[in-house]
């Protein structure tokens, strides 16, 4: 037995050493690539190719391995963030080498907020007299929303278009949990706080159905209204077409002026060349976003405005790079507050919320910053619950009309898995306590009345703190905030009407507001937080993973799972998966 242990330990040691060597080699290559600056040129008759078939984030991740390695080949098609997409279109407006833009939209992965900002910039581009052409093998509601901003919309002859409106999907697990023997114990403040309904109901509550219907219809009305303007159609006609599913074929859509022509891709390029005044035999360079981004200058002149990106769930600590770590974000905001070279800050938020404590840590630094220099919030696709909490200190809040925001509410969710563990899995755990409530939070028994009362008091206290801080930041009475709170979700357009948002627009509108409040006519934009180099990022993720594993290991439920996994030594395997359904076809919202 000892022999096998030694062999296993040695094998694991060699594997670990090999992994470290491989990683360091990759990191070395990436470091070289990130510093490499090959000369990038484009031809005179070029077209900017917007192929947006990837998840569009607010900011380009310059430490993405594909992004870094692509420094060796600028023609590679790699993801570019919304910030650089907008900047590239802005630069192309006055670039004599760029004659137009092609939207390649067979697949687009972005929320309506981000798409709206791209549409706005494309409309500005068209005002210069340059063309925007859209092509796709098929169009769905989301992709057509962007395509409708083009001069001409083309589709593959054998492709399809579906114009049917919006739908919000909510999955309910109450019956599943009941069969498993799990009772979800909910304490919440806010009759609209629908995030918990998936675990405790079999259908939507009237309040939740009301709010979902209100905000998806608000999004629908905004999107169809913009489409109608772009295609010279009436809103009523387009709404009727979607509601009744009137249009079935490409010919139907062409006749109704949704699409200009059905062509194969080679014919599409021939049409494009004709628009440029070229012969079909002439060559046109399709410049990728990534390649063009390398040519675009961000230097600017004058004082500095900082744009701070906060994307993902709000968590304690530093986060893993895909989350908003409270300590890391607070450190960034403090640094900008103390930096005299930074004259204003734009806080760009794309978050459905998270930890109430972590949200408050960020709120505190945002509040201190707002007392020393202008702080403008720019909301992306979603800035709700904890995402709205950290927005509250801003002097101005800017959101897209389709941004999901609000959700001013709080909930606690504690599972009682006694039946699952004891009867179905045969797991029994005994506790030896110093007091009656020492084991509060156990998942193998129901909450006692006193414990439920205790947790309710915490939820109520956090909710009161939430509405007080929104009241202070928005110059609304506590009663007003409570009436529009209760966990209810609003779109940006709706939120502006009730005082939760000041202006409708995207990141550029927020930056212009920041410059105005700081009294700046010329300024340079600097983006934060700074990306770490590959080695630092790897070390941070390893540290975060270690902290996460430590936290999981300390939880009582993890002890049960560990015991089950230990059963593998007898030849059996067990796997438990918990799925949180928070996506209503739109990023959702919750403040834990």
Residues serving a catalytic function are 193, 385
Show the tokens assigned to 271. 């049409």
SS3 content of the chain, % helix, strand, coil (to 5): 45, 20, 35
Pairing of strands 131-139, 314-315: unpaired
62 closest CA partner among 74, 70, 54: 70
Ramachandran category for residue 181: left, alpha or beta (phi over 0 → left; psi -120 to 50 → alpha): left
Q: Is 431 exposed, middle or buried (0-12, 13-18, 19+ CB in 10 A)?
A: exposed
How far is the CA of 557 from the CAs of 563, 575, 576, in angstroms?
Answer: 10, 13, 11
To 5 degrees, how large is the angle CA 380–CA 381–CA 382?
A: 95
Token pair for residue 108? 């687009």
SS3 393: coil
Q: At what angle do helices 356-370 and 326-338 cross, to 10 degrees?
A: 0
Please report the sign of the dihedral spanned by the C-alpha atoms of residue 8, residue 10, residue 16, residue 18: negative
Query: Which two three-digit tokens encode residue 223?
Result: 């999107």
What letter would DSSP give residue 298?
A: -
Q: 504, 466, 491, 500: which is closest to 591 by C-alpha?
A: 466
Burial class of residue 10 in the structure, from the number of CB atoms within 10 Å of its CB (0-12 exposed, 13-18 middle, 19+ buried) = exposed
Cβ contacts of 357-361, under 8 Å, gap ≥ 24 = 357/316, 357/326, 358/314, 358/315, 358/316, 358/324, 358/325, 358/326, 358/386, 359/314, 359/326, 359/386, 359/389, 359/390, 359/591, 360/389, 360/465, 361/316, 361/326, 361/327, 361/330
CA distance 315 to 309: 15
Task: Give the CA angle between residues 480, 481, 482 to the nearest 5°.
Answer: 90
Q: Which of 522, 527, 525, 518 is nearest to 302 (CA)?
A: 522
Q: What are phi and psi for residue 176, nearest 5 degrees?
A: -60, -45
Cis check: omega of the bond before 529, within 30 degrees of 0 = yes
Owner of token pair 């205790």: 454
Residues 355/386, Cβ–Cβ less than 8 Å? yes
List the structure tokens of 520. 């700046």
Contact 213, 509 (CB under 8 A): no
Max distance between CA atoms of the chain, in angstroms, equals: 87
Main-chain dihedrals φ then ψ at residue 73, nearest 5 degrees: -140, 95
Take residue 356 and report the two structure tokens written for it: 């109430």
Distances (CA, A) of 206 to 185, 191, 407, 583: 20, 10, 17, 19
Grouping H, G, I as helix, E, B as strand and the rest as coil, residue 276 is coil
Alpha helices in 36-151 (DSSP H): 65-69, 82-92, 112-126, 141-147
Cβ–Cβ under 8 Å, residues 139 and 155: yes
């Amino acid at each position: 037995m000892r022999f096998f242990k030694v062999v296993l330990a040695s094998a694991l040691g060699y594997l670990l050493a090999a992994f470290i060597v491989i990683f360091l080699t990759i990191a070395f290559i990436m470091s070289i690539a990130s510093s490499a600056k090959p000369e990038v040129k484009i031809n005179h008759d070029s077209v900017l190719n917007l192929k947006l078939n990837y998840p569009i984030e607010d900011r380009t991740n310059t430490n993405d391995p594909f992004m870094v390695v692509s420094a060796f080949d600028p023609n590679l098609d790699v993801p570019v963030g919304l910030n650089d997409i907008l900047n590239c279109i802005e630069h192309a407006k006055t670039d004599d080498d760029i004659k137009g833009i092609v939207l390649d939209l067979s697949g687009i992965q972005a929320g309506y907020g981000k798409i709206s900002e791209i549409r706005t910039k494309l409309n500005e581009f068209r005002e210069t007299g340059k063309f925007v052409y859209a092509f796709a093998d098929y169009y769905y509601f989301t992709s057509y929303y962007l395509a409708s901003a083009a001069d001409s919309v083309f589709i593959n002859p054998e492709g399809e278009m579906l114009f049917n409106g919006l739908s919000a999907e909510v999955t309910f697990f109450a019956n599943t949990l009941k069969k498993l023997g799990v009772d979800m114990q909910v304490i919440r403040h806010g009759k609209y706080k629908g995030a918990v309904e998936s675990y405790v109901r079999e259908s939507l509550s009237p309040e939740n159905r009301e709010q979902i219907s209100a905000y998806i219809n608000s999004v629908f009305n905004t999107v169809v209204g913009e489409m109608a303007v772009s295609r010279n159609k009436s809103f009523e006609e387009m709404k009727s077409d979607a509601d009744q599913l009137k249009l079935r074929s490409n010919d139907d859509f062409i006749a109704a002026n949704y699409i200009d022509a059905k062509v194969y891709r080679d014919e599409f390029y021939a049409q494009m060349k004709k628009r440029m005044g070229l012969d079909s035999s002439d060559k046109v360079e399709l410049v990728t976003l990534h390649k063009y981004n390398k040519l675009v200058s961000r230097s600017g002149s004058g004082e500095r405005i900082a744009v701070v990106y906060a994307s993902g769930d709000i968590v304690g600590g530093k986060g893993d790079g895909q989350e908003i770590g409270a300590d890391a974000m607070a450190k960034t905001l403090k640094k900008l507050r103390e930096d005299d070279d930074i004259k204003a800050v734009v806080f760009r938020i794309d978050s459905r919320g998270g930890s109430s404590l972590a949200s408050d840590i960020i709120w505190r630094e945002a509040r201190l910053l707002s007392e020393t220099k202008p702080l403008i919030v720019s909301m992306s696709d979603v800035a709700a619950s904890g995402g709205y909490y950290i927005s509250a200190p801003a002097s101005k809040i800017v959101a897209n009309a389709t941004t999901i925001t609000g959700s001013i509410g709080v909930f606690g969710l504690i599972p009682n898995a006694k039946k699952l563990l004891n009867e179905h899995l045969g797991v029994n755990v005994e506790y030896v306590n110093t007091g009656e409530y020492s084991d509060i939070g156990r998942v193998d028994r129901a909450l006692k009345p006193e414990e439920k009362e205790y947790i309710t008091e915490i939820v109520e206290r956090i909710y009161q703190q939430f509405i007080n801080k929104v009241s202070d930041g928005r110059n609304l009475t506590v009663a007003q905030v409570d009436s529009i709170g209760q966990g209810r979700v609003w779109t940006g357009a709706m939120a502006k009407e009730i005082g939760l948002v000041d202006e409708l627009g995207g990141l550029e509108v927020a930056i212009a507001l920041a410059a105005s409040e700081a009294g700046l006519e010329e300024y340079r934009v600097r983006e934060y937080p700074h990306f770490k180099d590959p080695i630092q990022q790897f070390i941070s993720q390893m540290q975060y993973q270690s902290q996460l594993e430590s936290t999981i290991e300390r939880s009582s439920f993890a002890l049960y799972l560990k015991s089950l996994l230990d059963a593998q030594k007898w030849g059996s395997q067990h796997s438990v998966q918990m799925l949180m359904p928070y996506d209503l076809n739109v990023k959702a919202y919750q403040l834990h």
